[in-house]
Amino acid sequence: MPKKKRTVEEQTIDPAAQEMLIRAEELGLSTAFSRADDLSPCNIGSTGMCCKLCGMGPCRLTKDGQTGICGATIDTIQARNLIRAIAAGGAAHSDHGRDMAFTLKAVANGEAEGYSIKDVAKLRTVAARYDIPIEGRAPEEIANDLADLYISQFGQQKGEIAPIIRAPKKRQELWKEQGVVPRGIDREVVEALHRTHIGDDQDPEHILNHAIRTSLADGWGGSMIATDAADILFGTPAPLLGQANLGVLKDDMVNVVVHGHEPTLSEMIVAASQDPEIIEYAKAAGAQGISLSGICCTANEILMRQGIPAAGNFLHQELAILTGAVEAMVVDVQCIMQALVDLASNFHTKIITTSPKVKIKGSTHIEFNEHQALTIAKEILREAIDNYQNRGTTHIPQIKEDLIPGFSHEYINYMLGGSYRASFRPLNDAIMSGRIRGVAAVVGCNNPRSSQDYLHTKVTKELLQQDVLVVETGCGAIASAKLGLLLGKAGLEQVGPGLREVCEAIGIPPVLHMGSCVDNTRILTVLTQMVEEGGLGDDIDQIPAVGLAPEWMSEKALAIGTYCVASGAYVIFGGSSPVSGMPDRVADSDIISHYISEGWEKIYGGKLEFIADPDEMIAKTLEHIDKKRAALGLPVYDPDRFGESGDTRMLEIEQMPFEERVSAIYGVAAD
């Protein structure tokens, strides 16, 4: 039976995206949305029931008790598939971290054109944490030592990676007991591949134990290094004003869209686009100037630090090209669709690959290296400007939304306590009193198999109504941005009464944008600081908090989810489960999904579940938060208890009879 084609309203909830999907249909061009309608997922592969690890297969296990030719059982096959995805995801993020460390080293040694160390305070704080001497030393000397330490982490063969000391003490002990403290990402990824080669590790729980270790090597290693090095080099984010959606593209300017993940090139393109010589060159080509915007997590990197607008999230990459207004889409690594090149051939847009690791047939390759960064960035911009004259008809949706990004963990600490007593105390107190019910991290990708942004924003909006403070990263953050949830006024209009008081008092949006997908490590740091502040238990698994990736699609998301579970978090993924098995074989095939949930929870206090229904995701999130509140002995969440702070409430209280007044103020009856 042919698959039903969805309407544009079913494909995305974003009106700008809907407009572009109608245009794609009129032009007879395919997009990921239409290809998802045309191409049904394989229900054997998508549920983890297919093994193609050797030439005797692929073995598709569809009957009860069936094994692969080598005898591999369904749970072994699912565990092997899962760890391979986690290893690939961890490798991608951590390799990004490695490149950031090399850039830091080059900058420290004066070998990186155009860069400088922007956040010396963070450099000193981080270096001191690793016992690198800082007193009386130049930033470059400290940065050189820190870069050497970082670089040594990736290929470390024995011992423990250094950043692990940044986890709560109790968690470090647990990891030691379980033997999962990582040595180095390279070693853990290689071992994951070795163990899953034909004829190696065939105990699913043993395989998945190594999945935990591999993911930790990324979360508390490679990814954490990526975030810290980027902050040191380009500045630690603090709130600023930004904009999101396709309406940020400009009809009378040269539009350059940067897409991918690494901030090294995009930061330099930002600098080059402000160079008078380049602006003059654009004007000479008949444009008003250069308009820079981003897609995916490159967007998040330059949005968080420079306020450069985001043209959109993952599923907007093709839509930006469909506007006909993009002179160049400059890509580096990860989440770049091969379809861009074919689509761009219908317009004048140049797809420019820049990473030595990523080429796409049919694109222009201008290889980037940090030693000649500014020169290369200018060359790329000139290429885009030269292409302006080839522009045909344009169609830019006039839809965009303001947002306030820039909530690094350093800024959250500062905003809560002020510059003299920066502290997580007010956040912990708000949770302990029940003014904030708990915290949710709603993160991750878009997936064309669901309606773009729908799951993200439904979950986010409903949790806000329930007084849950939401932090976001990656494409999920851009989804909320497009809907106006990253603005202060959302904190007054779209949240529960207790959370509203907090947003009002501090002056923050109810959804805090914490960065790109590699920056999920900022969330680990926030959780650790909440533990260290006191009052919410002595480890991350005791905090009333949940992580959600409602529209996940990338292997990196699986790596992130796993390191969060290993760190003690309950993590819920939407969409389909790669370990679900066939419904009529639940008894056998459910073993892995049971193990990564209840099994991991017994060991690590965190669990990983795949839940397709958003209402169930929300219900389970709240149930978990309330369970953790109860375990800490905190008051039961009461939506009517707060929301009347400030002068109005005090006036009301003043009018009350004495007994009621005492009860309202102290929560106890008058004697």
Q: Which is nearer to ligand SF4, 51 or 257 (CB)?
A: 51
Place of tokens 């997936």: 447
Q: Which is nearer to ligand SF4, 70 or 358 (CB)?
A: 70
Amino acid at 296: C
Please say whether the beta carbons of 510 and 549 come within 8 A. no
What's the closest the beta carbon of residue 483 comes to ligand SF4, in angstroms? 44
Residues in CB range of 614: below 8 A, 6 or more apart: 455, 458, 459, 550, 574
Q: Which is nearer to ligand SF4, 200 or 532 (CB)?
A: 200
- Torsion angle, CA of 386/389/392/397, rounded to 10 degrees? 70
Residues in CB range of 132: below 8 A, 6 or more apart: 142, 145, 146, 149
Separation in Å, CA 192 to CA 51, 90, 187, 188, 196: 16, 11, 9, 6, 6
Among 68, 405, 547, 605, binds ligand SF4 (CB under 6 A): 68
Distance between CA atoms of residues 414 and 409, nearest Å: 9
Q: Which is nearer to ligand SF4, 379 or 588 (CB)?
A: 588
Phi, psi of 641, rounded to the nearest 5 degrees: -75, -35
What's the closest the beta carbon of residue 420 comes to ligand MSK, in angstroms? 36
Distance of CA 657 to the CA centre of its chain: 51
Count of beta carbons in the 10 Å neighbourhood of residue 507: 11
Distance between CA atoms of residues 198 and 208, nearest Å: 16
Q: Which is nearer to ligand SF4, 193 or 240 (CB)?
A: 193
Q: Which is nearer to ligand MSK, 153 or 313 (CB)?
A: 313
Q: Which is nearer to ligand SF4, 199 or 633 (CB)?
A: 199
Residues in CB range of 615: below 8 A, 6 or more apart: none
Among 58, 417, 484, 488, binds ligand SF4 (CB under 6 A): 58
Place of tokens 């006909």: 324
Q: Are strands 545-549 and 570-573 parallel, antiparallel or unpaired?
A: parallel
- Answer yes or no whether residue 56 interacts with ligand SF4 by CB under 6 A: yes
For the record, the structure tokens of 359 come out as 């080429």
- Answer yes or no whether residue 60 interacts with ligand SF4 by CB under 6 A: no
- Answer yes or no whether residue 54 interacts with ligand SF4 by CB under 6 A: yes
Contact positions toward ligand MSK, by CB under 6 A?
261, 296-297, 314, 334-335, 444-445, 474-475, 516-517, 554, 556-557
Q: Which is nearer to ligand SF4, 198 or 506 (CB)?
A: 198
Contact characters 71-90, ligand SF4, x per CB under 6 A: -x------------------
- Answer yes or no whether residue 69 interacts with ligand SF4 by CB under 6 A: yes
Is residue 325 classed as helix, strand or coil in its secondary structure? coil
The listed partner (ligand MSK, ligand SF4, none) that binds 52, CB under 5 to 8 Å by sort, is ligand SF4
Is residue 156 classed as helix, strand or coil in its secondary structure? coil
By CB under 6 A, which span of 45-53, 400-408, 483-491, 587-595 interacts with ligand SF4?
45-53
The listed partner (ligand SF4, ligand MSK, none) that binds 98, CB under 5 to 8 Å by sort, is none
- Answer yes or no whether residue 57 interacts with ligand SF4 by CB under 6 A: yes
Is residue 331 classed as helix, strand or coil in its secondary structure? strand
Among 20, 59, 101, 459, binds ligand SF4 (CB under 6 A): 59
Place of tokens 């998802």: 36
- Answer yes or no whether residue 45 interacts with ligand SF4 by CB under 6 A: no
The listed partner (ligand MSK, ligand SF4, none) that binds 97, CB under 5 to 8 Å by sort, is none
- Answer yes or no whether residue 53 interacts with ligand SF4 by CB under 6 A: yes
The listed partner (ligand MSK, ligand SF4, none) that binds 556, CB under 5 to 8 Å by sort, is ligand MSK
Is residue 315 classed as helix, strand or coil in its secondary structure? helix
The listed partner (ligand MSK, ligand SF4, none) that binds 582, CB under 5 to 8 Å by sort, is none
Distance between CA atoms of residues 115 and 84, nearest Å: 36
Q: Which is nearer to ligand MSK, 476 or 568 (CB)?
A: 476
Q: Are strands 59-60 and 50-51 parallel, antiparallel or unpaired?
A: antiparallel
Q: Which is nearer to ligand MSK, 444 or 544 (CB)?
A: 444
Contact characters 515-554, ligand SF4, x per CB under 6 A: ----------------------------------------
Distance between CA atoms of residues 437 and 52, nearest Å: 46
The listed partner (ligand MSK, ligand SF4, none) that binds 445, CB under 5 to 8 Å by sort, is ligand MSK
By CB under 6 A, which span of 68-76, 300-308, 439-447, 588-596 interacts with ligand SF4?
68-76
Q: Find out whether the peptide bond into 182 is cis, omega within 30 degrees of 0.
A: no
DSSP string of 99-146, one letter each residue: HHHHHHHHHHTT-STT-----HHHHHHHHHHTT---TT--HHHHHHHH
Q: Which is nearer to ligand SF4, 82 or 270 (CB)?
A: 82
Distance between CA atoms of residues 654 and 629, nearest Å: 32
What's the closest the beta carbon of residue 60 comes to ligand MSK, in angstroms? 28
DSSP designation for 6: P
What's the closest the beta carbon of residue 482 comes to ligand SF4, in angstroms? 43
Write out the residues near ligand SF4 by the rule CB under 6 A: 51-54, 56-59, 68-70, 72, 198
